[in-house]
Amino acid sequence: MRILVTGGAGFIGSNFVRLILRNHPDDEVVNFDALTYAGNIENLADLKDNPRHTFVHGDIASTRDVARVFRGQGIDAVVNFAAESHVDRSLHMGPRVFIRTNILGTQILLDAARKHRVQRFLQVSTDEVYGSLGPTGAFTEATPLQPNNPYSATKAGADFMVRAAHHSHGLNAVITRCSNNFGPYQFPEKLIPLMIANALADKPLPVYGDGLHVRDWIYVEDHCSGIDVVLRKGVAGEVYNLGGNYDVPNIQIVKGILKLLGKPDSLITYVKDRPGHDRRYAMDNTRARTELGWQPAHPFDDALRETVNWYVAHQTWWQRIVSGEYRKAYDQMYGWRDKE
């Protein structure tokens, strides 16, 4: 299978590309990414000479770029990770770029997938489209979509366009909705890598509000294995919830990181809450487990320890992000191609 992976230079996408190349020796990946602030070609450094991996620099919200990547590539399946993914940015920098990439970009990909008779389209979505839970219960695939922030609203918009492409035009499309990921290559704007980076630098750890907001954490490898299973076995038109069954308050995660690093709790600083901050997410992943035989394989404590160790061992990786140096890496690795 020749898979077009969009957003494959980001956190989850780069882990997914590696999983496909490792587990499916007959598969090839065309990795299409705009290299926004969140895309980092250094995440793919070890794949540069892999003949089954081709990197194409382009924007999913550009019909021209999308037409170029589909033309002559023989794409069998699309897995759409490309997105503006950070809630705080959608709140503080405005939703425009989120609407452009997450909704318009998804629609442009859907149109191209139809035109090129792609056999499978997988939309990578999020638990945040369901909104916020009370103290009990979990989101199922039947939970109504009630997104509460501009990021999740645009992801919900994309989900509806995918649903419509399947329903109206018969596109073979599936949607995965996953809970909060963590693991190697996560951009240090998100909770876990930000807290690790700050703790290592003995800087304050900014916890929003009372720190009792609950997220359901999943190791990135488990999310990627879930996407892989849904891609191959999911029923067209269906949605599959993926989650790690590990829903805990943020403060517990932050304290766990400090403990692993041998740093004091006094680094924790409670700061002004995020506006409209969703109180609790928890995923019911029964459908993916019972119908597709998927299940998360990494216990949280082991995966968090591995993740913390990865950030300790890869300080140059995230320090180049913090300093902005990583943005020059594309020119060094691939820039010659654009000049031809």
Site for ligand TYD, rule CB under 6 A:
87, 180, 190-191, 194, 206-208, 213, 215, 250, 274
231 makes contact with ligand NAD (CB under 6 A): no
- Residue 128 a catalytic site member: yes
Please state, in angstroms and rounded to a whole number, the distance separating the CA atoms of residues 198 and 158. Answer: 34
For residue 202, the minimal CB distance to ligand NAD (Å) is 26
Strands of the sheet with 239-242, listed across from one edge = 53-57, 28-33, 2-6, 77-80, 120-126, 173-178, 239-242
- Residue 219 a catalytic site member: no
183 makes contact with ligand NAD (CB under 6 A): no
CB closer to ligand TYD, 14 vs 198 = 198
For residue 324, give Cα distances in angstroms to 40, 48, 318, 327. Answer: 11, 22, 10, 6
CB closer to ligand NAD, 6 vs 172 = 6
For residue 98, the minimal CB distance to ligand NAD (Å) is 9
List 42, 128, 159, 221, catalytic entry: 128
CB atoms within 10 A of CB 316: 11
Question: Out of ligand TYD, ligand NAD, none, which partner does residue 60 contact, by CB within 5 to 8 A per kind?
Answer: ligand NAD
| Residue 67: exposure state from Cβ atoms within 10 A (0-12, 13-18, ≥19) | middle
244 makes contact with ligand NAD (CB under 6 A): no
258 makes contact with ligand NAD (CB under 6 A): no
Q: Which stretch binds ligand NAD (CB under 6 A): 58-66, 134-142, 229-237, 273-281?
A: 58-66
- Residue 189 a catalytic site member: no
List 33, 42, 151, 278, catalytic entry: 151
Please state, in angstroms and rounded to a whole number, the distance separating the CA atoms of residues 246 and 244. Answer: 5
CB closer to ligand NAD, 194 vs 267 = 194
Please state, in angstroms and rounded to a whole number, the distance separating the CA atoms of residues 176 and 53. Answer: 24
Angle between helices 315-323 and 300-313 (to 10 degrees): 70
Query: What part of residues 2-21 is at the interface with ligand NAD (CB under 6 A)?
Result: 6-7, 9-13
CB closer to ligand NAD, 20 vs 267 = 20
Q: What is the CA radius of gyration of the chain?
A: 19
83 makes contact with ligand NAD (CB under 6 A): yes
- CB contact at 8 A, 140 and 245: no
- CB contact at 8 A, 244 and 219: yes
CB closer to ligand NAD, 7 vs 147 = 7
Please state, in angstroms and rounded to a whole number, the distance separating the CA atoms of residues 221 and 48. Answer: 21
For residue 164, the minimal CB distance to ligand TYD (Å) is 25
What is the CA angle 190-230-9, rounded to 5? 40
For residue 116, the minimal CB distance to ligand TYD (Å) is 32
User: Which residues carry out catalysis?
Assistant: 127-128, 151
